[in-house]
Structure 1
Amino acid sequence: MEMVSSEDTARALDLLGDIKNKVGDAVTHFQNLLKKVENGSISTAKGISFLEVKYHLLLDYLMNMTFVMCHKVNGRSIKGDPSIERLVEIRTVLEKMRPIDQKLKYQIDKLIKTAMTGAVGEDDPLRFKANPSNLTSKLEGDGESGESGGEGEGEGEGKAETSKVYKPPKLAAMHYEGDETQKERLERQTEKTRKRALSSSIMQDLRREYDDGPEEVWDDADLHRAKIDRAGKERTTYEEKYFMRMSVAKKEKNEAKRLRTMSGLDTLTKFGDIRALTGGQETQEEDDMQRRKKRKVSEMFIVILSNEGNC
């Protein structure tokens, strides 16, 4: 058996003295609280039942723990003691109550603060919730104004007109992405880029070259070129029907020629972005730049077609 040093003995005596003093203070405090509860000064009927259960469990836990400590101090065996099973049971219940305690922490602190100060804080977010009484008062006011008829007709005319006008809420349906994580958003963007790369012209050419099936032939004219060709056919039909030549401004000719040349060069050098198939990723800036470029070309074609239609 190891010898106990004088230092440990002195420290143990100090701790025992401290425990004795604190136990005396606690007993005095508990006796005062017990007297107030018995006299009815402190009413716990309207309290939170969750806290009451929690405090009863803590008190029962301390009582069983004290009983076990008394057995150990007196040198008795605690093997098979029912207080051990009771301690395990109470400890399990307290651990299960911890998440509920965390959720009720804000409400409990708010109730304690309200009970101590007697008023709700100005920064309390629950103060800014909807108040149905305001809506009820407005409806009652409208009904009273309608029944009163001629009283205050000149003053209430403007208010009545504004209240009768229905203004629909300016809300648009949008896809909710609040539960979507950064990883899921990146995977969705990568899948979208991969599908766009698979439908590019270079992948279609490779598929036609190495595919054993029959080759599919279709008209590869885009929408803008189809509109230009349709406008040209309508002009030719009009000229042949009425035997007259329609005048075309030099500026319109040059603009149409330039757009046809740009469209042809674009189809020659446009192979599609296939970085998604090789491990690369398209940045958001490049995607926005492509969208702005397509929008600008579309607006230019629309202006040309509108000018040709006016002629």
Structure 2
Amino acid sequence: MRYQIDKLIRTALTANSNDPQISSSKLGSTNPEDISSQQVDPLNQDESESLYKPKLDSLMASAKAQGILESHSSSSLQQSDPNKAYQPPKLIPVHYDEDDSLKAKREKAELRLKERAKKSQIINELISEFDARPEKSSSWGTSSTVGVAQNEKFEADRLHREKYEEDNFIRMTISKKDKKRLKQGTLRLDDEFAGLEDFAGIDTLSRAASSSNAKRKSVVEKRAPSSSSAGSINPFSKPSAKKLKSGKFQSRKR
């Protein structure tokens, strides 16, 4: 708004200086026809308003003349492509993956499956059945497997709480949350047949064993001497029949 007012005052002053008689007659006249002639046509109002807008080219030219703006900045702005995609700087720290090969991924997957197989019910039952160590079992006042802790962590917590109660002669209160957790961690009668289809652990262990055997076989083959390098006779090898008939292996006649 201030720019428009300044421009109007400047144009009025320049018009007065160029033709003082016409300007004085127009300024001093109170005729409504003269006033209406000086008003702007509403159809051309948008065009007249656009004339009062600041001109960026003139502002940039004055800024270049004063040394505020460099001359090559305008050319760089004109040469820049507006449709070009933005490229962020490459100084942002990102995560570095040391090894993304298929071998490393397969080893991680096998390790994850082994950890999952340790928690398998069928694997634990097979270990307890075929292992030579004495079987460890505990129950909560029952002689059957019903009530046995399904997880070793729950059993360790129960034993720790029981030992603390016996040492301090107090009875610890169990919250509803702990009761629910213990109930979920114990075997019920209908849980005996829950893990019959859990054969993923067995498949994982068999594949891991086959891969370890293949690795061990490859190591043994690498250490074994090749046929080309085995030119010298092994002293512990059995001699052939031809060598037994002749040479130092021939029996002496008496």
- TM-based fold match above 0.5: no
Greater fraction of residues in helix = 1
Structure of greater Rg: 2
